[in-house]
Amino acid sequence: MKIAFFDAKSYDRESFLRAAEGKNIEFKFFETKLWEETAELARGCDGVCVFVNDTVNAAVIDRLCEIGVRIVALRCAGFNNVDVRYAAGKIVVVRVPAYSPYAVAEHAMAMLLTSIRRTHKAYIRTRDFNFSLVGMTGFDLHGKTVGVIGTGKIGRVFIDICKGFGMRVLAYDKFPGESDGFEYVPIERLLTESHVISLHCPLTEDTYHLICADTVKKMRKGVVIINTSRGALIDADALLDGIKSRKIGAACLDVYEEESDFFFEDLSGHIVEDDTLARLISMPNVLVTSHQAFLTEEALRNIAETTVENILDEGTWQEKDLGSNS
Ligand code: NAI
């Protein structure tokens, strides 16, 4: 099997070459993302391997089919960047539904702690021998209420971590499951009662701009918002307004709606054209990481092994075709 591997980074090459050792699979690595104009690079390949910011829309699917590509292997869980309805019956789409919910949930907590205890600022201050504590006051998580939207694999690990901190956990899910040590509540109640809100649901028509001017209005003053799911769950301009008006106390963003133009690239020395992103980053109470929540050794190994298995197991492609729609 020959696979065109788009948006390849050094850490991807390492993990995928290791997973492919001794197997009938060969990767052609491309640094560019997959979109209409780069689809041609996959000519002569059986499949493409893509990540969160590659574009697999109808035009790309048509082009891939024309040049003989039979499988789109997502090396991620979310598949909002794939027109799955259009792909049905034309090309097989497989993904890695779970590789390490711990990686993402732990990153969400790391961002929360960094943000509220200002450890990122302390690191910079003490390197400059500035030992002042002025402006460093945080708050205890113990006894605070966290609202978790989406109680799937990652949301549940995050809930357990929050319980370990002695937090009261409220949750909202369109398809609620068992609630063990937390309470499912309507989303309005979650919004009004939570000191911290963390998003762990997929990006769908229902969840697009879930955090918007209307929902921000309902939140507690000083709320901390964490998004490690997909950028478009949040209307970034409404978030910015909420921060400027002091309604939102802090935002921890691992994802951003327009991230595909910026994230995963070294743009230091360039002028970033997105004023909303630039303004958010300039805020003292906004912490941005560039879609790195998944990036642990364990997750990379699981992603590579599952993707190689998904591709090589041609006989089971149809059953694996995306699995449950989450
Ligand atoms: P999952 O499928 O296990 O859980 C998603 C949960 O969201 C399910 O319980 C589902 O019922 C719920 N849900 C669906 N529609 C909803 C709605 N309209 N409102 C509220 N809840 C809804 O998914 P998992 O593995 O927990 O991942 C969650 C999200 O995390 C993924 O969709 C993906 O976008 C994101 N992710 C981000 C990563 C990163 O590096 N930042 C890495 C991996 C995933």
In this structure, are 95 and 129 located in the same domain?
A: no
User: Residue 259 catalytic?
Assistant: yes
Residue whose CA lies nearest to ligand 1 atom number 23: 152
In this structure, are 92 and 16 located in the same domain?
A: yes
Would residue 323 count as lying in a domain? no
Containing domain of residue 303, as a range? 2-99+297-313
Tell me the per-residue pLDDT of 269-314, one tens digit each, with 9 for 90 and over.
999 999 999 999 999 999 999 999 999 999 999 999 999 999 998 8
Domain CATH for 253: 3.40.50.720
Q: How far apart are CA 178 and CA 293, in angstroms?
A: 26
In this structure, are 245 and 120 located in the same domain?
A: yes
In this structure, are 152 and 19 located in the same domain?
A: no
Q: How far apart are CA 34 and CA 254, in angstroms?
A: 22
Residue pair 96/306 in contact (Cβ under 8 Å)? The answer is yes
Per-residue model confidence (pLDDT) at position 179: 95
Average pLDDT over residues 146-165: 98
Instruction: Evaluate if residue 80 carries a pLDDT over 60.
Output: yes
Would residue 321 count as lying in a domain? no
Residue whose CA lies nearest to ligand 1 atom number 27: 154
In this structure, are 129 and 276 located in the same domain?
A: yes
Would residue 326 count as lying in a domain? no
Residue whose CA lies nearest to ligand 1 atom number 30: 229
Q: 323: pLDDT confidence band, cut at 50, 70 and 90? A: low
**Six token digits for residue 228:** 């490690």
In this structure, are 26 and 78 located in the same domain?
A: yes
The CA angle 231-234-237, to the nearest 5 degrees, is 110
Residue pair 101/153 in contact (Cβ under 8 Å)? The answer is yes
Would residue 120 count as lying in a domain? yes
Number of domains in the chain: 2
In this structure, are 123 and 144 located in the same domain?
A: yes
Would residue 320 count as lying in a domain? no
Atom of ligand 1 nearest to the CA of 207: 18
CA of 326 to the centre of ligand 1 (A): 6
Instruction: Evaluate if residue 97 carries a pLDDT over 50.
Output: yes
Atom of ligand 1 nearest to the CA of 230: 34
CA of 165 to the centre of ligand 1 (A): 23
Per-residue model confidence (pLDDT) at position 325: 41
Tell me the per-residue pLDDT of 26-59, one tens digit each, with 9 for 90 and over.
999 999 999 999 999 999 999 999 999 999 999 9
User: Residue 279 catalytic?
Assistant: no
Q: How far apart are CA 274 and CA 197, in angstroms?
A: 25
Would residue 325 count as lying in a domain? no
The single residue of 259, 279, 297, 314 carrying the catalytic annotation is 259
In this structure, are 126 and 241 located in the same domain?
A: yes
Average pLDDT over residues 178-206: 97
Residue whose CA lies nearest to ligand 1 atom number 11: 175
Would residue 90 count as lying in a domain? yes
Instruction: Evaluate if residue 318 carries a pLDDT over 80.
Output: no
In this structure, are 265 and 119 located in the same domain?
A: yes
In this structure, are 51 and 10 located in the same domain?
A: yes
Tell me the per-residue pLDDT of 207-239, one tens digit each, with 9 for 90 and over.
999 999 999 999 999 999 999 999 999 999 999
Would residue 324 count as lying in a domain? no
In this structure, are 191 and 207 located in the same domain?
A: yes
Tell me the per-residue pLDDT of 232-260, one tens digit each, with 9 for 90 and over.
999 999 999 999 999 999 999 999 999 98
- Name the nearest CA neighbour of 1 among 70, 96, 91, 93: 70
User: Residue 209 catalytic?
Assistant: no
The single residue of 178, 230, 246, 301 carrying the catalytic annotation is 230
CA contacts within 13 A on the Cβ side of 278:
8
Tell me the per-residue pLDDT of 120-133, one tens digit each, with 9 for 90 and over.
999 999 999 999 99
Question: In percent, how much of the chain has pLDDT > 90?
Answer: 94
CA of 299 to the centre of ligand 1 (A): 16
Residue whose CA lies nearest to ligand 1 atom number 2: 326
Per-residue model confidence (pLDDT) at position 317: 78
In this structure, are 36 and 112 located in the same domain?
A: no
Protein residues with CB under 6 Å of any ligand 1 atom: 77-78, 98, 101, 104, 149-155, 172-175, 200-202, 204, 206-207, 228-230, 254-255, 291, 293-294, 326
Which of 201, 289, 295, 325 to mutate for ligand 1's pocket (most ligand atoms within 8 Å of CB)? 201
Which of 53, 102, 154 to mutate for ligand 1's pocket (most ligand atoms within 8 Å of CB)? 154
